[in-house]
Amino acid sequence: MEDDLSEVSVTSGLGTRFIGQRVILYPRLPSTMEVAKKEAQRGADEGTVVIAEEQTAGRGRINRVWFTPKGGLALSVVLYPSMVYLPSLIMVASLAVVHAIAAVTGLQSQVKWPNDVLINGRKVCGILIESGVRGNTVDYAIMGIGINVNLRTSHFTQISLTATSLSDELGREVSRLKLIRKLLVEIERLYLSVQSGGSVYQEWRDSLVTLGRKVGVSLGKIVHEGTAESVAKDGSLLLRCPDGSLTRIPAGDVTLHE
C-alpha cells in the first residue's frame, strides 16, 4: 500500500484545534523526540508533530533503542501542560493508540503498564513521555509514539519474538495516513478532556492487561515480584507482594508471568 504521506495530507481537513495543525515530516530521522524537543525549546506551537517514516536512533524507556524500520511509524507531539496534567499524558497517549488502532483496523489492543500497547500479547506500540520541568513549572512535554504498522516482524531478529505489527495481525497493509490522522484526533480529544476536568484514568485502568497478573517489576538492579493489584491515579503500579504488603511503584520494567 502506497500512502500519500506528506505534511499536507496529514494536516488537510484534520479538524483538530491544535494537535497536528503543524506537522514536520521526515522520510528518515535519528529520533523524532530530539527534533520535537528542539522545537519545544524554540517555543514551537503546542500540538506541533514531528513524524518519521523511518527512525534510526529512536529512544525507548530506560535508554533503550526503539526500532522503527521502513513501514513503521514514529511521531512526537509537543505539548505545554501544567504540572497537574503531566501524569495523565501516558494514559492519554496509550488510549489514543488503542482507539486509533481499533477505528482504522478493527483490531483490539491492550495496554501493558506503563507504556506498551499489545495485540495478542505482543508489542505493537511503545510510548515515551519526556518533559522539561523547573520547580513546579513544566516548560514542555514531548509525547513520543512508535507503532509497528506495515512490517514483517519475523524479518527482524531483535523484535521477532516479542513484537507484532498491524499488517502481521491483519494479513494486509494498513494506511499509515489514516492511522496518523485518527491518532492525532484522539490525542487532542483525550488531552482536552483531561484539561476540562474529565478523567481518562478509569478507561486506562480497565485497558491494562497487567492487572491481576503475577509480574516482576525491574527498577535498575532491584526486582519486585508480586501481583499487579491496581494502579493509582498518578499512574503508579500497586503491587501486592508475597508477604501481603502493598508496594507503590511509580515506574519500572514489567515482565508478565504465566
Give yes or no: residues 95 and 222 share one domain. no
pLDDT at 144: 97
Q: Helix or strand or coil: residue 21?
A: coil
What is the tens place of the pLDDT at every residue in 86-109? 999 999 999 999 999 999 999 999
Give yes or no: residues 195 and 147 share one domain. yes
Bridge partners, 76 (sequence order): 50, 144
Distance between CA atoms of residues 159 and 169, nearest Å: 15
DSSP letters along 160-220, please?
TTTB--HHHHHTS---HHHHHHHHHHHHHHHHHHHHTT---HHHHHHTBSSTTSEEEEEET
Element (H, E) at 124: strand 122-134
Distance between CA atoms of residues 99 and 38, nearest Å: 29
Give yes or no: residues 217 and 108 share one domain. no
Which three cell numbers mark 220?
535498575
Give yes or no: residues 58 and 113 share one domain. yes
Residue 105 lies in a domain: yes
Domain residue limits at 193: 7-205
Give yes or no: residues 144 and 239 share one domain. no
Give yes or no: residues 35 and 126 share one domain. yes
What is the tens place of the pLDDT at every residue in 46-78? 999 999 998 887 565 545 556 688 889 999 999
Residue 232 lies in a domain: yes
Residue 2 lies in a domain: no
Give yes or no: residues 190 and 243 share one domain. no
Q: Which amino acid is at 133?
A: V
Distances 213 to 43, 99, 115, 237 between C-alpha atoms, Å: 43, 24, 17, 12
Measure CA of the first residue to CA of the last residue in the chain; give whole Å.
38
pLDDT band at 221 (very low <50, low <70, confident <90, very high): confident
pLDDT band at 228 (very low <50, low <70, confident <90, very high): very high
Give yes or no: residues 98 and 218 share one domain. no
Give yes or no: residues 160 and 252 share one domain. no
Which three cell numbers mark 225?
515480584
pLDDT at 161 over 90: no
CATH of the domain at 237: 2.30.30.100
Residue 11 lies in a domain: yes
Count of domains observed in the chain = 2
CATH of the domain at 147: 3.30.930.10
Distance between CA atoms of residues 230 and 211, nearest Å: 6
Give yes or no: residues 87 and 157 share one domain. yes
